[in-house]
Chain A
């Protein structure tokens, strides 16, 4: 198919993650791996120091003097760049801030600090209506649930035409119709005339998500933020849809910010993966490299529990790192490294000082004191019991 570009760049080559493909179909030369400092020509989106803090709504008692007001730090200082034609997988569990990051990019949520730069232009505080409209045309979003996105009383044709109507983009009814049919066709809903007349209840789950994609394509976007676009779908339907998304990347030169909880899926689809935990990026780098040689204990734990259809051999289960407890809530982020309370390798420094992202080579970076100077992670100690000892009823 030739749509990936993971190892296309000079620094990404030889990562040992699948065959290198110099001169991939999509990515321009020099994409993939770390671009030389200062060269930002192939950058489509850059996020700098992004913070999204939500104050917790005041209850009646909060007016009492001296009462502490909590802030949820959903995104807590991240830097990220997406290159033209790239698929960046943003991976994290619930509460990691991945969805909020995506919402900031599509301007559904305002950041409390930091900047968003799109195609060389700061769009953080875009006020100008024309500029905002232009941005919303070039950056589109696909949400998780195709059932909630579609209006049951609206025909497919009208749904796909809606963004054109709202933004007054169609020059004539013929132009509107032509664009809608082209988008439906590109999304694989053929014959397009037939689908344009149908209603959501007449479509399968996979077809509905294709309609959502058509609604995105009709705007002719450059960047698509896809937030768990396939997690509601059955496997056989989801691969068809992923295939469509990757084909569109070639045909339309699309760039994707692919947000998912599924590390394995990001590994298959993305050129680079960024792993988020509690509002911070824990690790980022070429997809194959991050999975095969994680430099952050959190990434390593995620890889070890990644779902597999290979039945475990005897004793293999012990090699998994099932972390104790659940992600703390973002109103009470631990001091130091926010992962340290659950980290099997945490030491004193982790409890007090937050690690920055350390470059570990090959375009990969990890926010872990153990990765300082590009070091590899030590082998894990034996896995401790993950749940408190329990009583057997009746015993």
Chain B
């Protein structure tokens, strides 16, 4: 990380901070964020008290299954929420400026220029009737007030940066392959030279080989431009390969958070352990998959206490009653689980497998 930061500093001139920036404040600090949806008169607690921090040049992965609130968390950062969702609590501080309380007009100053998003499914996110280069140039003209010709020149440079020959900029989205379109999306996210790029399932619909290419590109961009990345994905491998830290979400809350090298090697939270064991891993030579019985809770009526308790093989009486507090250990891993109370050693407690999937004999 430090290497990354220093290398980046050599390649890109220091960014100009936004006008209201607080001296010495961290790049991004989210504290106790709560984003709720209103659905047919009921409240869905999609994000229910999530805190994390992102430093300059760092890559954070937010992982979890569908409905765990990871995408809502990301969209809350730039307030790109659907009409029935709103931030009901907590703060989102970018350079010390609270974005959570900004109006829709005021937040526009920060979208693209400070935080931009690469969405999943580039085919739907790109305009099918506009040339790729013009689409990338658009935010440059709109947000930075650059004239059209200079913006298109800059768009060409960005295309080259993401590995698309400049000449292909005159193509329409349907003329590009899936991998190329995703590259174009990344180029667009970089258009206004943001500090933070959020990738929402940036590689999900792509073939493994193309996925590997895109991840390599993101990593290279991070090094060269000193970007900070937030990757939202259900695919833990994407995070293992590209991020410094990982935040595992379950049912709107943080289950575990910490350096990738700690969390993925010595997972503590039973959910993290299960999630990792459900992932087939050729490189680790692990040929069985753990089954996690049950499904995530309905967030209109989340269970009291720990939200994973109904599915947790380690659940104790306290788990169904009291919400586990988040405890941070010496290796900078934060866990919300009663197995790891404040003052404990934090030594990972292995969770037994309830059932497994795998070839005969391999699961003994």
A contact set with B: CB distance below 8 Å: 1-6, 18-21, 24-25, 93-94, 204-206, 234-240, 242-243, 246, 261-265, 267-269, 271, 287-288, 291, 301-303, 305-312, 320, 322-323, 326-327, 386-388, 390-395
Q: Given A309-B236, A392-B161: A236 and B275 within 8 A (CB)?
A: yes
| CA distance in complex: A309, B154 (Å) | 37
| CA distance in complex: A394, B224 (Å) | 12
Q: Is the CB of B240 within 8 A of A309?
A: yes
Q: Is the CB of B234 within 8 A of A235?
A: yes
B contact set with A: CB distance below 8 Å: 11-13, 65-66, 154, 157-158, 160-163, 165, 177-179, 190, 193, 207-213, 216-217, 224-225, 234-238, 240-241, 260-261, 264-265, 274-276, 278-284, 287-293, 295, 355-364
Q: Is the CB of A386 within 8 A of B236?
A: no
CB distance from B19 to the nearest CB of A (A): 21
Q: Is the CB of A18 within 8 A of B357?
A: no
| CA distance in complex: A68, B295 (Å) | 54
Majority secondary structure of chain A interface residues (helix, strand, loop or mixed): loop
Q: Given A307-B235, A391-B161: A235 and B65 within 8 A (CB)?
A: yes
| CA distance in complex: A24, B362 (Å) | 13
What residues of A have a CB within 8 angstroms of the CB of B235 in the complex?
307
Q: Is the CB of B362 within 8 A of A4?
A: yes
Write the chain B residue with the least CB distance to A388.
B163
Q: Is the CB of A320 within 8 A of B212?
A: yes
Q: Is the CB of B280 within 8 A of A265?
A: yes
Q: Is the CB of A393 within 8 A of B158?
A: yes
| CA distance in complex: A361, B87 (Å) | 62
| CA distance in complex: A386, B212 (Å) | 10
Q: Is the CB of B208 within 8 A of A306?
A: yes
Sample of 28 A–B contacts (CB below 8 Å): A4-B361, A6-B360, A18-B287, A21-B361, A24-B360, A94-B178, A234-B66, A236-B295, A239-B291, A239-B292, A240-B292, A246-B357, A262-B208, A264-B280, A267-B280, A268-B357, A268-B358, A269-B359, A288-B287, A288-B359, A301-B209, A305-B212, A306-B283, A308-B240, A308-B283, A308-B284, A309-B276, A309-B279
20 more A-B residue pairs beyond the given contacts A306-B208, A327-B207, with a C-beta to C-beta distance below 8 A: A18-B362, A19-B361, A19-B364, A235-B278, A235-B279, A243-B355, A243-B356, A264-B280, A264-B281, A268-B289, A301-B209, A305-B212, A309-B279, A310-B240, A322-B212, A326-B178, A386-B213, A391-B157, A393-B190, A394-B12
Q: Given A309-B236, A309-B237, A387-B217: A6 and B359 within 8 A (CB)?
A: yes
What residues of B have a CB within 8 angstroms of the CB of A20 in the complex?
361
What residues of B have a CB within 8 angstroms of the CB of A394 in the complex?
12-13, 193
* A326: contacting residue among B66, B160, B210, B295, CB under 8 A: B210
Q: Given A18-B362, A320-B212: A387 and B289 within 8 A (CB)?
A: no
Q: Is the CB of B165 within 8 A of A388?
A: yes
| CA distance in complex: A394, B238 (Å) | 29
Q: Given A3-B360, A18-B362, A24-B360: A238 and B278 within 8 A (CB)?
A: yes
| CA distance in complex: A1, B280 (Å) | 17
What residues of B have a CB within 8 angstroms of the CB of A301 in the complex?
209
What residues of B have a CB within 8 angstroms of the CB of A242 in the complex?
289, 357
CB distance from B307 to the nearest CB of A (A): 14
Q: Is the CB of B360 within 8 A of A310?
A: no
What residues of A have a CB within 8 angstroms of the CB of B158 in the complex?
393
| CA distance in complex: A226, B293 (Å) | 22
Write the chain A residue with the least CB distance to B157.
A393
Q: Is the CB of A239 within 8 A of B289?
A: yes
| CA distance in complex: A20, B359 (Å) | 10
Write the chain A residue with the least CB distance to B239.
A309
CB distance from A7 to the nearest CB of B (A): 8
| CA distance in complex: A264, B283 (Å) | 9
CB distance from B160 to the nearest CB of A (A): 5
Q: Is the CB of B157 within 8 A of A236?
A: no
CB distance from B189 to the nearest CB of A (A): 13
| CA distance in complex: A268, B13 (Å) | 48
Q: Is the CB of B283 within 8 A of A239?
A: no
Q: Given A310-B240, A386-B216: A5 and B360 within 8 A (CB)?
A: yes
| CA distance in complex: A77, B209 (Å) | 24
| CA distance in complex: A325, B282 (Å) | 24
CB distance from B282 to the nearest CB of A (A): 4
CB distance from A210 to the nearest CB of B (A): 12
Q: Is the CB of A269 within 8 A of B209?
A: no
| CA distance in complex: A18, B288 (Å) | 11
* B261: contacting residue among A2, A268, A302, A311, CB under 8 A: A311
